[in-house]
Structure 1
Amino acid sequence: MSAYRFEPTILREYDIRGIVGKTLSGADAQALGQAFATYVIDQSGVSAPRIAVGYDGRLSSPDMEAALVDGITSTGAQVVRVGLGPTPMLYYAAASEKLEAGIMITGSHNPPDYNGFKMMLMGGPVYGKMIQDIGQIAAEGRFKKGVGSSVSLDLMDRYVSRLIQDFKGAPLTVVWDAGNGAAGVAMEKLTRRLPGRHILLNEVIDGTFPAHHPDPTEEKNLVQLKAAVAEHRADLGIAFDGDGDRIGLIDGQGRVLWGDQILALLARPVLEALPGATIIADVKASQVLFDEVARLGGTPMMWATGHSLIKKQMKVTGAPLAGEMSGHIFFADRYFGFDDALYAAVRVLETVAWAGKPLATLRDELPTRVNTPELRFPCADTRKFAVVTEVKERLTQVGANVSTVDGVRVNTADGWWLLRASNTQDVLVARCEAADAAGLERLKAELLAALAPSGVTPPQF
């Protein structure tokens, strides 16, 4: 293939993603295989690198996989095809087989007509400028040429064995919902090897997602799980997104535990075993989490949103645990440091057993705050970062207490409010948290006042 230009909108900050038949095609997959493998060869210095390839359950994924493999092997690289499964299994393949790189074909939690690619290189994520560089290789037609090969590797059972190799749990009644996503088979195999009673929902992989949209961070997608937990009087319920790298969790009373609450509870046994350890969370997380980590004797760290950015910071700091509000949970403690919702689920079960209390009780032990959901409101790509900069400058002039790790997070006597630009969409993101309803109203007003001079349509609270 000669020079090839991708539709610019598919080259995202953390992955490559588009609508099949509109912005993403098999030709894109083949060109990406050539460009990515060329990039891996250049960066690794290995002339015939081994690259793991996996795919999710979307209807377009098998054809995308075949085209991707053709592109990779045309450079002389070697492909290790791990087949259908969750994204973390692809990460596991690269780590356990000591491969130079990996690429997962997945639309993640997006609607059925989407698909995309998540990439890793030399044990770390491929994101930001690296993705743009891969696009540039394709645009210039700078593809390596060679005769590569591909082999198939079935490591599903090995992956599941690794998930529970040092499990220290107790029998519980648990409802699991794979949402017809790529975690289904692994979830079935895992639950057969866990003690207790396990009720499975939507474990059959189906790229049309007939039961509900596979995004466990939206409460409307947890209705079926809540009903099953109530019906079976289960201790808890666990849900996965479309490619199995994000977790959703509800307690035995049917209440959702959001990403920061999950992380706060998982931190307890980790910090008992590793006193003083750094625990990382993104800027959208509740102050309750950071205070809880400090109370437990750990070192809380607030970091920029984005699974690639969190993974990189974990390596820099040696943090054993990190997480995001989006449900990405990263364990380097006894694991590899990548986001794996199935492994996070295992550690949730361990934590409940370690505490000797129901999950609902553990949730009740966390301090309560009132907050807005994550508010996403339109702002042109050409303006969104500039708006955040304008707000930051105005806040600095009035001496506000501002963290600028990712956008602006403003601390006041009432609590905090956040404004940041999305890295993947033409939107601004806002959130407020306070001790009580009156304080929350004051924070909302402060956010709107800070935003008004920039002339953007404000969020609807």
Structure 2
Amino acid sequence: MTSYHINPAILRAYDIRGEFGKTLFQLDAYFIAKAFATKVIRKTGNKNPTIAMAYDGRLSSPELQAQVQKGLMSAGVNVVNVGLGPSPKLYFAVRSMELDGGIMVTASHNPPKDNGFKMMYEKAPLFGAEIKELGNMAASGDLIDDIKHGSVEKKDIEGKYIEKLLTAFEGGLLNSKNLKDLKIVWDTANAAASEVTKKLVKKLPNENIIINGDIDGNFPAHHPDPTLAENLQQLIAEVKKHKADLGIAFDGDGDRVGAVDGQGRIIWGDQLMTLYAEDVLENNSGAEIIADVKASQSFFDAVEKLGGKPLMWKTGHSYIKNKLAETGAPLAGEMSGHIFFADRYYGYDDAVYAALRLINYFVKNNIKPVAAVDKLPKTYASKEYRVPVAEAIKEGIVKEIRAQVMASKAKVIEVDGIRVIEGGGWWLLRSSNTQSVLTIRAESNSESELQKLITKINMLLKPYHVSLSDDAGH
């Protein structure tokens, strides 16, 4: 069996990503797909499993997806190629057709030159050590060859996917006056969810305005990451220009959602989760609701007040998705805009579905987005800082600062890094799973207390010759 070396730097915690032509190459796609197929065959015991594949709008995606198809077929896989579109369309194909797995060619919200792969076994994401194992399998030639039995079928599932998305609306709300009265601006960022969104809004009775609606892998308007305020400025301007009630934004592969209200205020991930929790707990009293360790304390308090059981968990969409499946929770989400609904949906992160559930919330409760945001608790939170440090020392820094904090008898939550409760609020320090950075965030009940927390964090970082001013953004 031929062996092949894959750059270990592209084998990340949640997926595979690299710069096409520099760290990621066409043959990587072939061998990654072949290794993934081998894992699926061994896991399922099915010598000829059926695996779906899809690809996003990046310039390198068509050639990479061709190699993925070849790699899967070379191991005897029956390939269902659902074509260009967002990652959730691939997830829908796997779940709705009860397939053995799926592989998506995407680098999510990374720069245009990057690309990569996301994979899933049946209902579960492939991540962590299993991703590293793909590289080991390729390097050792531990791969199945069965080219005679491989096959491919191209399948258009977009119509069925859109039908499923529309089930986000309860009862007759899809045709209600409250929905007809909402004016919405959608920013699809020239990314993978663009075509689905254009077709979807034609089925809605209200006025919808789409910006950056043509797929273009150069992302000419702005970077496709709705968690950064600078990437929402065009959307905010359009919402104000059209006097719209709501603005919706998607990331590069359509699995993360962002939103702004009619005044142009950003509705951050934990604020969205607070609204979603209210909606979900109405029919799931006492259920666990999961959010990552970066989320506001006001979210966890709100869930408890609503009669739910708040659960704080590790940052990372794969960790959150697995915890949702493990606990049977009906809802989970991250600050990053990955939202998982399992009450009336499949439990994977789908930005378009999440957007429709948000609209459903406003329509059902007969409340405009501005009024809903006004009702949310007022807190004072920092941005998410990402401070560059050497990969070799980043975890050591967290351990050393943890020891100092524990010695001070402060209350510490250690779900993921350290979340320290003090000063009328909290601060978080964790080692990034995907980059050579420390992730830091703080929140308090006043601006002055927040500044005190930030000053303390800088003091703790000083011995390592870094500070929050070194922030490299997202």
Q: TM (normalized to structure 1)?
A: 0.98
Residue in structure 2 matching 1:260, options 260, 270, 294: 270
Within 2, Cα distance between the matches of 1:166 and 1:218?
26
Q: Relative to 1, partners in 2 of residues 1:241 and 1:166: Cα closer, same or farther, differing over 3 Å?
A: closer
Within 2, Cα distance between the matches of 1:410 and 1:452?
18
Within 2, Cα distance between the matches of 1:217 and 1:81?
30
The residue type equivalent to 1:359 in the other structure is P
* Conservation of the 8 A alpha-carbon contact between 2:20 and 2:113: yes
* Conservation of the 8 A alpha-carbon contact between 2:8 and 2:132: no
Q: Which residue of 1 aligns with 2:435?
A: 425
Residue in structure 1 matching 2:238, options 219, 228, 231: 228
Within 2, Cα distance between the matches of 1:350 and 1:146?
48
Partner SS, residue 382 of structure 1: coil
Identity %: 50
Q: Which residue of 1 aligns with 2:467?
A: 458
Q: Which residue of 2 aligns with 1:301?
A: 311
- TM-aligned CA deviation for residue 260 of structure 1: 0.4
Partner SS, residue 248 of structure 1: strand
Within 1, Cα distance between the matches of 2:343 and 2:327?
13
* Conservation of the 8 A alpha-carbon contact between 1:176 and 1:199: yes
Q: Which residue of 1 aligns with 2:377?
A: 367
Partner SS, residue 416 of structure 1: strand
Worse-superposed segment, 1-10 or 402-411:
1-10
C-alpha distance after superposition, 1:301-341 (max 9, x if no partner) = 11000000000000111111111111111100100000000
Q: Does 1:193 align with 2:203?
A: yes
The residue type equivalent to 2:36 in the other structure is F
C-alpha distance after superposition, 1:366-397 (max 9, x if no partner) = 11111110000111111111211122222222
Within 1, Cα distance between the matches of 2:204 and 2:312?
34
- TM-aligned CA deviation for residue 46 of structure 1: 1.2
- TM-aligned CA deviation for residue 446 of structure 1: 2.5
* Conservation of the 8 A alpha-carbon contact between 2:423 and 2:453: no
Q: Which residue of 2 aligns with 1:40?
A: 40
Worse-superposed segment, 228-237 or 162-171:
162-171
The residue type equivalent to 1:152 in the other structure is K
Q: Does 1:215 align with 2:225?
A: yes
Partner SS, residue 208 of structure 1: coil
Within 1, Cα distance between the matches of 2:366 and 2:319?
34
The residue type equivalent to 2:109 in the other structure is H
Worse-superposed segment, 385-394 or 19-28:
385-394
The residue type equivalent to 1:116 in the other structure is G
Within 1, Cα distance between the matches of 2:215 and 2:342?
29
* Conservation of the 8 A alpha-carbon contact between 1:269 and 1:354: no
- TM-aligned CA deviation for residue 208 of structure 1: 1.0
Within 2, Cα distance between the matches of 1:418 and 1:399?
16
Residue in structure 2 matching 1:161, options 156, 160, 163: 163
- TM-aligned CA deviation for residue 448 of structure 1: 2.7
Q: Which residue of 2 aligns with 1:15?
A: 15
Residue in structure 2 matching 1:385, options 373, 392, 395: 395
The residue type equivalent to 2:140 in the other structure is E
Q: How does 1:17-416 map to 2 (within 5 A)?
A: 17-147=17-147, 148-165=150-167, 167-168=169-170, 169=173, 170-171=179-180, 172-416=182-426
The residue type equivalent to 1:307 in the other structure is H
Give the count of matched residue pairs.
460
* Conservation of the 8 A alpha-carbon contact between 1:451 and 1:458: yes
Within 1, Cα distance between the matches of 2:439 and 2:228?
16
- TM-aligned CA deviation for residue 195 of structure 1: 2.0
Find runs of 4+ consecutive structure 1 residues off by over 6 angstroms. Answer: none
- TM-aligned CA deviation for residue 456 of structure 1: 4.3
The residue type equivalent to 2:166 in the other structure is I
* Conservation of the 8 A alpha-carbon contact between 1:44 and 1:122: no
* Conservation of the 8 A alpha-carbon contact between 2:168 and 2:357: no
Unaligned regions of 5+ residues in structure 1, if any? Answer: none
Within 2, Cα distance between the matches of 1:193 and 1:61?
29
Within 2, Cα distance between the matches of 1:437 and 1:192?
44
The residue type equivalent to 2:404 in the other structure is R
Q: TM (normalized to structure 2)?
A: 0.95
The residue type equivalent to 1:25 in the other structure is F
Within 2, Cα distance between the matches of 1:270 and 1:298?
10
- TM-aligned CA deviation for residue 225 of structure 1: 1.1
Within 2, Cα distance between the matches of 1:133 and 1:122?
18
Q: CA RMSD in A?
A: 1.2
Within 2, Cα distance between the matches of 1:448 and 1:409?
16
Worse-superposed segment, 403-412 or 209-218:
209-218
* Conservation of the 8 A alpha-carbon contact between 1:103 and 1:118: yes
Partner SS, residue 167 of structure 2: coil
The residue type equivalent to 2:313 in the other structure is W
Q: Which residue of 1 aligns with 2:176?
A: none
- TM-aligned CA deviation for residue 166 of structure 1: 5.2
